């Protein structure tokens, strides 16, 4: 874990919306698009430096992804500001889930983690058909 030992804070509120990308999916590779909003509810200006994801699929496999920024950016958030982005995740066997951490830095150079709450990667309910 890249942020091991860093303090976890709750000054950044995270909301997530997930959409199944049926048109980009096929058996054995189900693609989910996730939309994330980060809102700085703290009192200091911060910058997102990196991310770390743990991706669970329906077979119990866990993938691990980490890297700089998000979608090629390292956004700076002043108090009260929000930042939105979207990305995607393919998994072989739904349902699955994602969770993780963002590493942020404040203007004093202090690093801290923001926990990304677990969110589900589920296929949409199938339309039921009634025979008359």
CATH number at residue 39: 2.60.40.1470
What pLDDT was estimated at residue 65?
96
Q: Number of folded domains in the chain?
A: 1
Is residue 126 assigned to a domain? no
Is residue 97 assigned to a domain? yes
What pLDDT was estimated at residue 131?
40
Contact in structure between 31 and 88 (CB atoms under 8 Å): yes
Is residue 72 assigned to a domain? yes
The series of mean pLDDT values per 10 residues for the chain, 132 residues long, is 79 97 94 98 98 96 96 98 98 97 97 97 65 39
Is residue 128 assigned to a domain? no
Phi, psi of 112 (to 5 degrees): -155, 160
d(CA 61, CA 96): 9
Residue 24 lies in domain? 8-121
Is residue 77 assigned to a domain? yes
- Return the residue matching tokens 């950016």: 73
Neighbours of 105 (CB within 10 A): 17
Instruction: Tell me the C-alpha to C-alpha distance, in Å, between residue 40 and each of 68, 99, 102.
Output: 19, 19, 13
């Amino acid at each position: 874990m890249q942020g091991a030992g860093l303090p976890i804070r709750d000054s950044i509120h995270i909301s997530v919306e997930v959409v199944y990308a049926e048109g980009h999916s096929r058996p054995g590779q189900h693609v989910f698009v996730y939309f994330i909003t980060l809102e700085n509810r703290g009192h200091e200006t911060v910058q997102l430096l990196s991310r770390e994801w743990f991706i669970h699929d329906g077979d119990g496999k866990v993938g691990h992804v980490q890297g700089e920024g998000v979608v090629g950016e390292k956004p700076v958030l002043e108090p009260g500001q929000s930042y939105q982005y979207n990305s995607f995740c393919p998994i072989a066997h739904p349902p699955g889930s994602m969770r993780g951490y963002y590493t942020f830095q404040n203007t004093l150079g202090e690093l801290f983690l923001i926990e990304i709450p677990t969110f589900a990667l589920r296929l949409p309910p199938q339309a039921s058909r009634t025979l008359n």
